[in-house]
């Protein structure tokens, strides 16, 4: 079976133009930040918003959104890998949410193709658990205080989540 959903997802995202890269301010774990700096990304690409985040342009677009794509795709932060899933932390539990298709068109594809949904949810769980495990509590609290309307809770994982399949 071919994985044509990947190509379809790519097309949908190109047509969307990266709505998820506007006003995103993705948080950076220390390991993600170190990896970016080691690859030559200048430190002034990051800013402090109560947590360390990728800087945005004046119009709110992430500075790494260039020519309608992510210029650091292979190294992008955990929440960017996890999208269109997002998260909140309640005690020892990480709650996973899925954005509505009205704000992220690729959600329709995920809901139509179980393989795509399962693949992306597994990646989201792994990426979000890594981020949560590598952030100081005050930064995590600042991130979780950001309201994310137009999402539905779809899963819960323990804070100490490990995906043994990877
Ligand atoms: S993930 Fe969603 S919001 Fe982001 S570019 Fe793709 S369709 Fe648009
Ligand atoms: S790092 Fe890449 S995927 Fe994440 S918000 Fe910026 S441009 Fe978008």
Nearest residue by C-alpha to atom 1 in ligand 2: 76
Distance 67 CA to ligand 1 centre (A): 15
Residue 24 CA, closest ligand 2 atom number? 5
- Alpha carbon distance, N-terminus to C-terminus of the chain: 22
Q: Is 74 contained in some domain?
A: yes
Residue 166 resides in a domain: no
28: Cα within 13 Å, side-chain hemisphere = 21
pLDDT, one tens digit for every residue, the chain (166 residues): 457 999 999 999 999 999 999 999 999 999 899 999 999 999 999 999 999 999 999 999 999 999 999 999 999 999 999 999 999 999 999 999 999 999 999 999 999 999 999 999 999 999 999 999 999 999 999 999 999 999 999 999 999 887 765 5
Instruction: Using CB atoms within 10 Å of the CB of residue 137, give its burial: 0 to 12 exposed, 13 to 18 middle, 19+ buried.
Output: exposed
Under a CB-based contact definition with an 8 Å cutoff, are residues 150 and 99 in contact?
yes
CA 120/CA 125 separation, integer angstroms = 9
Number of domains forming the structure of the chain: 1
Return the number of other C-beta atoms located less than 10 Å from residue 144's C-beta: 15
* pTM reported for the whole predicted model: 0.94
Distance of CA 14 to the CA centre of its chain: 17
Domain that holds residue 92: 4-158
User: Ligand 2: distance of its center to the CA of 62 in Å?
Assistant: 6
Atom of ligand 2 nearest to the CA of 72: 2
The answer to whether residue 49 is domain-embedded is yes
| Structural domain includes residue 163 | no
CA angle 119, 121, 125 (to 5 degrees): 120
Position 164 in a domain: no
Asked if residue 64 belongs to a domain, the reply is yes
User: How many angstroms is it from 166 CA to the middle of ligand 2?
Assistant: 23
């Amino acid at each position: 079976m071919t994985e044509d959903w990947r190509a379809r997802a790519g097309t949908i995202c190109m047509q969307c133009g990266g709505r998820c890269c506007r006003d995103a301010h993705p948080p950076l774990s220390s390991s993600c930040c170190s990896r970016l700096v080691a690859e030559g990304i200048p430190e002034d690409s990051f800013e402090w918003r109560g947590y360390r985040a990728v800087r945005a342009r004046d119009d709110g677009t992430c500075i790494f959104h260039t020519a309608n794509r992510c210029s650091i795709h292979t190294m992008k932060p955990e929440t960017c890998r996890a999208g269109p899933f997002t998260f909140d932390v309640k005690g020892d539990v990480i709650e996973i949410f899925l954005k509505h298709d009205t704000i992220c068109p690729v959600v329709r594809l995920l809901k139509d193709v179980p393989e795509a949904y399962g693949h992306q949810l597994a990646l989201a769980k792994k990426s979000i658990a890594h981020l949560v495990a590598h952030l100081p509590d005050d930064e995590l609290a600042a991130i979780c205080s950001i309201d994310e309307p137009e999402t539905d809770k779809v899963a819960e994982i323990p804070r100490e989540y490990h995906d043994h399949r990877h």
